[in-house]
Amino acid sequence: MEKQPSKPGSLSRRDFLKVSGITLTVPLVVGPRVLKVAGAEVKVFGPGKVPMTFTINGKTYRAELEPRVTLLDALRNEFDLTGAKRVCDRGTCGACTVLLDGKPVYACSVLAIEAQGRAITTVEGLMQDGKLHPIQQAFVENDALQCGFCTPGFVVACKALLDRIPNPTPEDLVAGLGGNLCRCGTYVGIRAAIAQAARMQRGG
């Protein structure tokens, strides 16, 4: 029996990838189809391009995307918001970390279609009035970056951590940033940067 998604929240990227292989000849469909599944009506989007609307860093963005497109690819390829990086593309390394309603998520593991109607914050949204966020400033001063490819993800993950725990312990750091990886080895700088940013946010 073919599994049908029951609500938008359960759409998985894998299902769309599976479906995509057998639906190449289906004409482009705009707007949802309504199907009955187990007696309930469900809306099915795609497989063609669907109009979508996003709120990113407080601004509205619109695009027509296939439902299988991830939030990460939508940000990078449609809106040229390339701060979030594609590294592992399967929810391991954290380089694509963005905030969804204030919570850190791997943008490679969220479908764009699911991110509609939610407040998306990317690293580009952290600067205010052309001034670096205190966390960003602390990253620069403590040399918490080398090649810099993982850095935007780390900065956003640090923001989420400090928003939640203003004065993190070393254990909090591990829990809050354990999902982000750096190949150049900047963790010493990152630890120092977080400590400085936490002090600054406390007004120290």
Partner 1 sequence: MAEREAVEMAEYKWPEPGQRRLIGKRVSRVDGPDKVSGRAKYTYDVNRPGMLAGKILHCPHARARIVRLDTSAAEKMPGVKAVLPLKKVGDEILWAGDEVVAVAAVDEPTAEDAIRAIVVEYEKLPHFVLDTDPKAAGERARPTAEQIEGDPDAAFREAEVVAEGLYGMSVITHCCLEPHGAVVEWEGENSVLVHISTQAVSGIAGQMAGPLGVPAGNIRVKQEHIGGGFGSKFGPDSWGIAAARLSKMAGGRPVKIMLERDAELMVAGARPSYYGRVRVGAKRDGTLIAWESETWGTGGIPPTSPLPLPYVLRIPNQRKRHIAIATNSGPARAWRAPLHPQACLLTMAAIDDLAAALRMDPLDLLLKNIELAGERADVYREELQIAAELMEWKKRWHPRGDPSPGPIKRGLGVSIHTWPGRGHACRCDLTIHPDGSVEVKLASQDLGTGTRTAIAIVVADTLGLPLEAVRVRIGDNQYPPAGGSGGSTTIGGVSSAARRAALNALDQFFARVAPLLNAAPDQLEAWDGRIRVKGDPSRSIAWEQACARLDGMPLTVRGENPGPGELTTAGAAGVQMADVSVDIETGIVRINKMVAVQDCGLIINMKAAESQCYGAMIMGISYALYEEKIMDPVTGRMLNPNMEFYKLAGLADIGELVVHMMTGEKYDRRGVIGLGEPPVVSPGAAISNAVANAIGVRVPFLPLTPERVLEALKKGGSHARV
Binding site for partner 1 (CB under 8 A): 20-21, 24, 66, 68-69, 73, 76-77, 80-90, 92-93, 95, 122-124, 126-127, 132, 136, 139-141, 143, 145-152, 155, 173-174, 177-178, 180-191
For partner 1, the closer of residues 5 and 97 by Cβ is 97
Q: How far is the CB of 77 from partner 1 (least distance, A)?
A: 7
Q: Read out DSSP for 115-132?
A: GTTSEEE-GGGS-BTTB-
Q: How far is the CB of 18 from partner 1 (least distance, A)?
A: 11
Q: How far is the CB of 38 from partner 1 (least distance, A)?
A: 29
Residue 139 tokens read as 């990253």
Q: How far is the CB of 187 from partner 1 (least distance, A)?
A: 5
For partner 1, the closer of residues 115 and 123 by Cβ is 123
- Distance, in Å, from the CA atom of 66 to the CA atom of 199, rounded to the nearest integer, reads 44
- Annotate 173-200 with b (16+ C-beta within 10 A) or e (fewer): beebbeebbbeeebeebbebbbbbbbee
For partner 1, the closer of residues 39 and 58 by Cβ is 58
Q: Under a CB-based contact definition with an 8 Å cutoff, are residues 96 and 86 in contact?
A: yes
For partner 1, the closer of residues 115 and 150 by Cβ is 150
- Distance, in Å, from the CA atom of 133 to the CA atom of 113, rounded to the nearest integer, reads 29
Q: Which residue has the tokens 């701060």?
A: 83
